[in-house]
Chains A and B, each alone.
Chain A
Amino acid sequence: MIKNNRLTAEQYQHNFSDIKPPFETQDAALVEANRCLFCYDAPCTKACPTSIDVPKFIKQITTYNVKGSAHTIFQSNIMGAGCSKVCPVEKLCEGACVYNLMEEPPIPIAKLQRYSTEKAIDNNWQYFERKKSNGKKVAIIGAGPAGLSCAHVLSREGVDVTIYEKENKGGGLMTYGIAAYKVTPQFCEDEVNYILEIGGIEIKYNQELGKNISLEELQKNYDAVYLAFGVGLANKLNIPGEDLEGVEDAITFIYNLRSKTYKDINVGDKVAVIGMGMTAIDAATQAKRLGSKEVTMVYRRTEAEKSCTQHELDIARLDGCATLWLAAPKEIIGENGKVKALVCDVMKLGQPDAKGKPTPTPTGETVTLNVDMVIKATGQNPFTVLVSGYGIDNAKGKININQSATNVSKVFAGGDCVNGGKEVVDAVQAGKDGANAILKFMMNVK
């Protein structure tokens, strides 16, 4: 049965508390910071999409220059505080730390990054001064990581920035998508405010490109436009029964979870989550943490091909989520309009596809899961209609860019709407690249 209010307030509180708690004390941070070898041309920095100078910021913690440490981080990544909580570090900086090669635990880079940046935000240490307004105006669509990062770089250079955002809060998927046990709504709000403190950036909320505003208008009124609207809802399964009550899209499920109180979120007794990416993991773990009795993650390939990290899968498993490998959804069976079961084809692995992943093919057998809720998390759907409608070059909705510029005059793009959905840290880097491309473009226009 699908219902809400399954747990007590304390249980919700416990289930959604910070999954990676911070250092409790300065001494604790120093013990780890002092382990850092201060590598040259450090592998951790190279593995960070925003190229944060990791050895430098860690060294600054050891010299009690925490203020300088956060400065080092924010210079490369203005969302360094958020990144320290949400980055899948095991495949980024920490995965590359040289200690791994000694079979020793890597430096907890993200935790140290959190140590410095949290202090900076708590104390509102501001490092960047906006240059005098130079009269240039840029419009940005989307106040997510890509849009905010782009806006910050532009504002530093004296550009007046207006961000159009369809929701009534900033942060993008940081605020509406990322698992609740990684960041709190309060943190997301604080981070957005910290970024905006520089001035010169206005966010117009409840403004949606394609609805209240058009690209033509923006092209006319601004020197450049930066598209950073991310990607949309989860892909459709295109199988019978997809419209039954109890079939939900993972993005919507998580959006509700992040914008309402936990006790108001509906969840089934037995839930099937389709997919094995990061979104699937987040949907599965959070369904379980909302009090669902049984959660099964269904994937058409094997564990070896999963696109989430091992660390994330381990979180789901520790939460008690089950996995069903080599199973592709075939049909959702209903009763009185509500989900009753999920029928899957049993698959086997075949030849590798273009990306090198073996293609699963049906064996002819099926398996049936008795579930009352199905959550779809098989990748997100880019805004194909919107993008194509404006004549913007794209690949299945993912915008094509050349050094951040689209084929349409004055229009640039970056983040999930270009890469189809990666990490926050990638979007932050895209925003920096976009801003630099726009600055170069505006200089040449005159």
Chain B
Amino acid sequence: MADISSNFLGIKSPNPFWLASAPPTDKKINVLRAYEAGWGGVVWKTLGSQVKNVSSRYSSVDYHGSRVMGFNNIELISDRPLDINLKEITEVVKLFPDRAMIVSLMADSTREAWHELIKKCEDAGAMGFELNFGCPHGMTERGLGAAVGQDPEIAKMVVEWVMEKATIPVITKLTPNVHSVVPTGKACVEAGTNALSLINTIQSVTGVDLDTLVPNPYVAGKSVFGGYCGPAVKPIALKFLTTIAQNNITKKVPISGIGGISTWRDAVEFMLLGSSTVQVCTAAMKHGFRIVEDMCEGLNNWMDEKGFKTLNDFIGKSVNNITHWEDLDINYHHVANINEDKCIHCGLCYITCEDTSHQAINLSYGDPYNTYTIKEQDCVGCNLCKLVCPVDNCITMVEKRVAPEYINWKMWQEQGLPLNDH
């Protein structure tokens, strides 16, 4: 059996699965239940000046019968009194000393406020901090959250204040509500943050109620932009993660990956692209804490299968497999192949290719089942048919290199090679 225990800047946890700072981690009852279920650690719900929440708070995007593909909230940081939070943190750490206890912070914008909060949390037993520079709603209007994360200068200043005081590891959580997360990430690393985490939620409107004409979520006839998360944001999170894992400055610190992680497979992808630990919020909010069981077992089985003994054996292994478009090999070519034994004749490959791609699938009419075959000479290898085919491994892509040698776009131009003539 592989060893899935994690050591993040000296903060140990039996597995790399932490609960992200959010309602699942906002009080003792939840956190104890999470630990009992097997979660490796938590990032306690963000603490700061006490706030007041509204009702309702969440909305979601459903897709083709699947609920909560994307999740949206307009909640603020913890709305509970600070001393109760601190007391509960102490109690939880005492009961589960082997789990990671990170406390998320968003103090008011003064050095004193940050120092005071840091002191109190360290005294309560926090093992690390996560600075919330990411909350996209409610707090920004007060000059907090994403307002800090969107401005590298301000972020840098706040991190410096924190580093003056903190004696335990500090993670800075980045907002995705920017063109690039790298400038703020760099500023925070230069200011001394020990680690980065990303992403926080993405500003969004999940939909409009077609009866009331009020967007979701509904608060007395109005709505506001909320923070989007859940499976729908995973691809965006992975992209931002990669840019941090590749940048020469930001890649120096460990990363805790967040955004749409629901299964061990998602987690492994984040880790391959540079996350040392991963954080989960929406998936737990949709299914409860029990999902961690399969996350641990699935990760373990995959590592055994691939021969990885510890997490460090594979963390970051895919980072360099994302390159620049200009460096891609133009002589690589593959074409679709339909396995006639598996084909169920649904015609989806045909109609997508015919209507929207390269007219590379041949239809021969039958009653009631048509036969579909690939016109190899017309297939550009775009993958569309394979993506829409409802049968696993029915359409496969077969490598047919144009020529053995590597050639990229720049070389292609230099050599004056021909472009498409149709």
Binding site for B on A (CB under 8 A): 30-31, 34, 37-44, 46-47, 62, 96, 98-99, 101-102
User: Which interface class (under 10, 10 to 19, 20 to 34, 35 or more) fits B?
Assistant: 10 to 19
A38 touches B65 (CB 8 A): no
Which residues of B sit under 8 angstroms from A46, Cβ to Cβ? Answer: 367-368
B345 touches A62 (CB 8 A): no
Which residues of A sit under 8 angstroms from B344, Cβ to Cβ? Answer: 98-99, 101-102
A42 touches B367 (CB 8 A): no
A37 touches B64 (CB 8 A): no
How far, in whole Å, are A96 and B367 apart by their CA atoms in the complex?
A: 10
Which residues of A sit under 8 angstroms from B345, Cβ to Cβ? Answer: 39, 43, 98, 101
A47 touches B368 (CB 8 A): yes
How far, in whole Å, are A34 and B62 apart by their CA atoms in the complex?
A: 12
- Check: B391 CB closer than 8 A to any chain A CB: yes
CB-based closest 3 A-B pairs: A40-B347, A34-B65, A43-B368
Which residues of A sit under 8 angstroms from B369, Cβ to Cβ? Answer: 43, 96
How far, in whole Å, are A142 and B363 apart by their CA atoms in the complex?
A: 43
How far, in whole Å, are A40 and B345 apart by their CA atoms in the complex?
A: 9
* Closest partner residue, chain A, to B346 (CB atom): A39
Which residues of B sit under 8 angstroms from A62, Cβ to Cβ? Answer: 64-65
* Closest partner residue, chain A, to B350 (CB atom): A40
Which residues of B sit under 8 angstroms from A102, Cβ to Cβ? Answer: 344, 391
Nearest Cβ in chain B — how far from A67, in angstroms? 14
B346 touches A40 (CB 8 A): yes
* Closest partner residue, chain A, to B370 (CB atom): A41
Total cross-chain contacts (CB, 8 A): 42
- Check: B328 CB closer than 8 A to any chain A CB: no
Which residues of B sit under 8 angstroms from A98, Cβ to Cβ? Answer: 344-346
Which residues of A sit under 8 angstroms from B64, Cβ to Cβ? Answer: 34, 62
Sample of 18 A–B contacts (CB below 8 Å): A31-B65, A34-B64, A34-B65, A37-B348, A38-B348, A39-B345, A39-B348, A40-B347, A41-B365, A41-B370, A43-B345, A43-B368, A44-B368, A62-B64, A96-B369, A98-B344, A101-B344, A102-B391
Which residues of B, 333-381, contact A by the 8 Å Cβ criterion? 344-348, 350-351, 363, 365, 367-370
- Check: B390 CB closer than 8 A to any chain A CB: yes
Nearest Cβ in chain A — how far from B132, in angstroms? 38
How far, in whole Å, are A99 and B344 apart by their CA atoms in the complex?
A: 8
How far, in whole Å, are A38 and B367 apart by their CA atoms in the complex?
A: 18
Nearest Cβ in chain A — how far from B72, in angstroms? 21
Which residues of A sit under 8 angstroms from B390, Cβ to Cβ? Answer: 37
Which residues of B sit under 8 angstroms from A31, Cβ to Cβ? Answer: 65
B368 touches A39 (CB 8 A): no
With A62-B64, A101-B344, A101-B345 in contact, do A96 and B368 touch (Cβ < 8 Å)?
Answer: yes
Contact of B348 among A34, A40, A44 (CB under 8 A): A40
Contact of B347 among A30, A42, A47, A99 (CB under 8 A): A42
Known: A40-B351, A46-B368. 14 other contacts (CB 8 A): A39-B347, A39-B348, A40-B347, A41-B365, A41-B370, A42-B347, A43-B368, A43-B369, A44-B368, A46-B367, A101-B344, A101-B345, A102-B344, A102-B391
How far, in whole Å, are A41 and B365 apart by their CA atoms in the complex?
A: 9
Most buried by B among A34, A37, A102: A37
* Closest partner residue, chain B, to A99 (CB atom): B344
Nearest Cβ in chain A — how far from B23, in angstroms? 26
How far, in whole Å, are A33 and B201 apart by their CA atoms in the complex?
A: 32
How far, in whole Å, are A62 and B64 apart by their CA atoms in the complex?
A: 8
B368 touches A37 (CB 8 A): no
Which residues of B, 30-45, contact A by the 8 Å Cβ criterion? none
How far, in whole Å, are A31 and B345 apart by their CA atoms in the complex?
A: 22
How far, in whole Å, are A47 and B390 apart by their CA atoms in the complex?
A: 21
Most buried by B among A42, A46, A98: A98
Nearest Cβ in chain A — how far from B86, in angstroms? 44
Which residues of B, 309-350, contact A by the 8 Å Cβ criterion? 344-348, 350
How far, in whole Å, are A99 and B363 apart by their CA atoms in the complex?
A: 20
Which residues of B sit under 8 angstroms from A40, Cβ to Cβ? Answer: 346-348, 350-351
How far, in whole Å, are A41 and B390 apart by their CA atoms in the complex?
A: 16
How far, in whole Å, are A44 and B344 apart by their CA atoms in the complex?
A: 13
Which residues of B sit under 8 angstroms from A44, Cβ to Cβ? Answer: 368
* Closest partner residue, chain B, to A101 (CB atom): B344
* Closest partner residue, chain B, to A102 (CB atom): B344
Which residues of A sit under 8 angstroms from B367, Cβ to Cβ? Answer: 46
How far, in whole Å, are A42 and B369 apart by their CA atoms in the complex?
A: 8
Which residues of B sit under 8 angstroms from A47, Cβ to Cβ? Answer: 368
* Closest partner residue, chain A, to B372 (CB atom): A40
Nearest Cβ in chain A — how far from B218, in angstroms? 19
With A46-B367, A46-B368, A47-B368 in contact, do A41 and B65 touch (Cβ < 8 Å)?
Answer: no
* Closest partner residue, chain B, to A100 (CB atom): B344
Nearest Cβ in chain B — how far from A115, in angstroms? 15
